[in-house]
Amino acid sequence: MIRNHCVIELDVQIGNWPRIENFVEIQKGTVIGDHCFIRSFVRIGEDCVVGDYSTIKCHSILATGTVLEKHVFIGPHTVFVSDANGHGGATVSHYAWIGAHVVIEPGVVIPPRCIIGAHSLVRSGQIYKPWAVYFGIPAREVRKGCKADFDKLGTSIREGEKE
């Protein structure tokens, strides 16, 4: 379902059963996967990828070239920053969670099942670990995560899935 007042440019591919709410802008070359949920007032730049079952909460901005793999959660008011040339290029791997009001610099790679806490600054050039929790300005590892932590929080771990 695509709601009112959305701007979706040509060459945008949208998968099955999307939920795109009011006042969303999706620029050319972007691919939106199946069963994605995009809240109101979201801007998705050119040539972005939003993987299957991903959620982008309201007032978030994805810079050109941002990649969200499957089952990614992006909290409200999160910004993927562009460089001086207008390119972003951050990658968020599957099952990662990004809290509200997070700023992510270009070129960052957030690994699978990583959690970034609210109001954090995710700097480029830093190496982030899978299953870990990061928080702060700049984001620092505050807790080594484990599978049990994610199970408690409701993330389903599918059998046979590669890390």
Q: What is the pLDDT of residues 31-58, one digit of tens each?
A: 999 999 999 999 999 999 999 999 999 9
Question: 53 exposed, middle or buried (CB, 10 Å; 0-12, 13-18, 19+)?
Answer: middle
160 is a domain residue: no
The pLDDT of residue 162 is 47
- Distance CA(140)–CA(114), nearest Å, equals 12
163 is a domain residue: no
The pLDDT of residue 89 is 85
| pTM beyond cutoff 0.85 | yes
Length of the chain: 163
The answer, yes or no, to whether residue 82 has pLDDT greater than 50, is yes
162 is a domain residue: no
Residue type, 93: S
The pLDDT of residue 143 is 80
131 is a domain residue: yes
Q: What is the CATH number of the domain that holds 102?
A: 2.160.10.10
* Mean pLDDT to the nearest integer, 145-154: 61
- Distance CA(151)–CA(157), nearest Å, equals 7
The pLDDT of residue 84 is 76
Overall number of domains in the chain? 1
User: What is the separation of C-alpha 106 from the centre of its chain, rounded to a whole number of angstroms?
Assistant: 13
124 is a domain residue: yes
The pLDDT of residue 83 is 84
User: What is the separation of C-alpha 55 from the centre of its chain, rounded to a whole number of angstroms?
Assistant: 7
The answer, yes or no, to whether residue 161 has pLDDT greater than 60, is no
Choice among 20-34, 116-130, 142-156 with the minimum mean pLDDT: 142-156
The percent of residues above 90 in pLDDT, for the chain, comes to 77
Average pLDDT of the residues of the chain = 89
